[in-house]
């Protein structure tokens, strides 16, 4: 019995030593719910980055990173709950997350109040980082993305009359629609319809009928892929054959599954393109495919980049203190898959965007737009 007790005590001691050496970092994303493919991609990207850092010795002093990943279900209330759990129960030193702006805006104040640095891979609403000095992001913001979409529609597609349809219950879609409208008007175009729909809607024909009566040249739909697929099908059924433009919320393999041929002649702004010939991109695509059996979308890429940015800051800080990690994040100057990243005074990255075209059921790289 004494021998068994001694062995058990050694095992407990060994486990405690490992736990003391690991650095706990939270991950948050919607692996279930309306944006589940986004959350799964996000989790994959974070886990791949953590695996690579651990393989080369951890973050600092041979301390390995342990990711504790939570599902926010795409719901702000659930997001607030898992942020609180990660900080108060799991004792994470930083958080990588979350995806949807409406959920990030629920979680960020909790991280800020507790002095826990966080970086959202993909929340583009400009209010996110204004929550406080512990809040960063790895993606460009809605004003830039909406502006790029408007410039593309006006200059490349030669559209002069635009209409928008967006989810009125989502900060992300509203922000993109508003910024698209502002820039399109500034360029000299007309926004002939600016229509919202309630969250969770599946029948958009009433709004589309009203929109199409105004004869738009282009339809701007800055929604997530599940809504976009349905909107595209219904718009085509009602006789709209013109181009549709949107944001990075289109970036999911399920877009074509839902929308089929209706998403042809569709274009969206995005953070990276798998066809980018830069070696860092092609190496990442190869590694991701080998591990997960699929080509990485922008969600996976930005999550991978966000993890690298956070891990690099922890390494340079040489500390798990929130304030030290926060200060290291400020001085980030790093080449990641989606481009070279530095941060402005509001903790937003200065980086490029790409235009993706939906063609023959595939995403095709169209062009790169610099800030």
CATH topology for the 2-140+278-351 domain:
Rossmann fold (3.40.50)
Which pLDDT band holds residue 350 (cuts at 50, 70, 90)? confident
Considering only 71-85, 163-177, 180-194, which range has the smallest mean pLDDT?
163-177
The answer, yes or no, to whether residue 6 has pLDDT greater than 50, is no
Residue found under tokens 């877009």 = 255
Overall average pLDDT of the 95-112 stretch: 97
Q: So what's the pLDDT on residue 2?
A: 55
Map out the domains of the chain as residue ranges.
2-140+278-351, 143-270
Q: pLDDT, tens digit, for every residue of 291-308?
A: 999 999 999 999 999 999
Q: Where is 238: in which H helix or E strand?
A: none
CB 69 within 8 A of CB 83: no
The answer, yes or no, to whether residue 177 has pLDDT greater than 70, is yes
Overall average pLDDT of the 135-145 stretch: 92
Which pLDDT band holds residue 143 (cuts at 50, 70, 90)? confident
Q: So what's the pLDDT on residue 3?
A: 57
Q: So what's the pLDDT on residue 92?
A: 98
The answer, yes or no, to whether residue 10 has pLDDT greater than 60, is no
Q: So what's the pLDDT on residue 368?
A: 83
Which pLDDT band holds residue 7 (cuts at 50, 70, 90)? very low
Mean pLDDT for the chain?
93
CB 132 within 8 A of CB 112: yes
Q: In what order do the strands lie in the sheet with 65-71?
A: 65-71, 23-29, 94-96, 118-120, 135-137
The answer, yes or no, to whether residue 153 has pLDDT greater than 50, is yes
Overall average pLDDT of the 130-141 stretch: 96
Q: So what's the pLDDT on residue 276?
A: 84
- Asked if the domains at 2-140+278-351 and 143-270 fall in one CATH topology, the answer is yes
Considering only 40-49, 69-78, 156-165, 170-179, which range has the smallest mean pLDDT?
170-179
Q: What is the DSSP letter of 154?
A: I
Which pLDDT band holds residue 20 (cuts at 50, 70, 90)? low
Overall average pLDDT of the 305-332 stretch: 98
Q: So what's the pLDDT on residue 130?
A: 97
The residues pairing with 335 across neighbouring beta strands, listed in sequence order, are: 340
Residue 43: both structure tokens together: 């989790």
Residue 78: both structure tokens together: 């659930």
Overall average pLDDT of the 210-223 stretch: 98
Overall average pLDDT of the 238-247 stretch: 98
Q: What is the DSSP letter of 163?
A: E
Domain 143-270 = CATH 3.40.1260.10: no
Q: So what's the pLDDT on residue 76?
A: 97
Which pLDDT band holds residue 261 (cuts at 50, 70, 90)? very high
Q: pLDDT, tens digit, for every residue of 75-102?
A: 999 999 999 999 999 999 999 999 999 9
Overall average pLDDT of the 263-288 stretch: 93
Q: So what's the pLDDT on residue 277?
A: 84
Q: What is the DSSP letter of 99?
A: S
The answer, yes or no, to whether residue 178 has pLDDT greater than 80, is yes
Q: What is the pTM of this model?
A: 0.79
Helical packing angle, 298-317 and 322-330, nearest 10°: 110
């Amino acid at each position: 019995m004494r021998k068994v007790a001694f062995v058990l005590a050694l095992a407990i001691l060994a486990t405690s030593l490992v736990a003391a050496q690991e650095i706990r970092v939270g991950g948050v994303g919607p692996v279930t719910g309306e944006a589940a493919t986004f959350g799964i991609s996000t989790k994959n990207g974070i886990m791949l980055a953590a695996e690579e850092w651990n393989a080369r010795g951890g973050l600092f002093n041979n301390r390995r990173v342990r990711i504790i990943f939570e599902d926010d279900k795409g719901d702000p209330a659930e997001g607030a709950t898992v942020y609180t759990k990660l900080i108060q129960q799991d004792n994470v030193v930083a958080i990588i997350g979350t995806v949807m702006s409406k959920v990030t805006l629920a979680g960020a104040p909790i991280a800020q109040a507790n002095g826990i640095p966080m970086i959202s891979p993909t929340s583009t609403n400009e209010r996110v980082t204004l929550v406080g000095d512990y809040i960063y992001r790895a993606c460009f913001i809605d004003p830039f993305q909406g502006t790029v979409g408007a410039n593309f529609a006006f200059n490349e597609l030669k559209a002069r009359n635009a209409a928008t349809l967006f989810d009125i219950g989502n900060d992300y879609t509203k922000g993109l629609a508003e910024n698209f409208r502002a820039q399109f008007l500034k360029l000299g175009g007309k926004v002939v319809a600016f229509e919202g729909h309630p969250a969770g809607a599946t029948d958009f024909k009433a709004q589309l009928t009203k929109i199409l009566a105004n004869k738009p040249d282009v339809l701007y739909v800055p929604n997530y892929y599940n809504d976009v697929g349905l909107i595209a099908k219904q718009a085509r059924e009602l006789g709209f054959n013109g181009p549709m433009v949107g944001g990075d919320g289109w970036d999911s393999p399920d877009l074509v599954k839902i929308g089929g041929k209706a998403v042809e002649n569709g274009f969206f702004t995005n953070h990276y393109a798998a066809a980018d010939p830069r070696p860092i991109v092609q190496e990442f695509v190869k590694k991701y495919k080998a591990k997960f059996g699929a080509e990485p979308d922008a969600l996976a890429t930005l999550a991978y980049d966000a993890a690298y940015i956070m891990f690099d800051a922890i390494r340079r800080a040489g500390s798990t203190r929130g304030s030290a990690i926060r200060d290291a994040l400020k001085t980030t100057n790093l080449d990641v898959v989606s481009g070279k990243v530095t941060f402005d005074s509001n903790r937003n990255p200065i980086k490029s965007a790409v235009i993706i075209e939906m063609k023959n059921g595939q995403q095709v790289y169209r062009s790169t737009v610099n800030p």
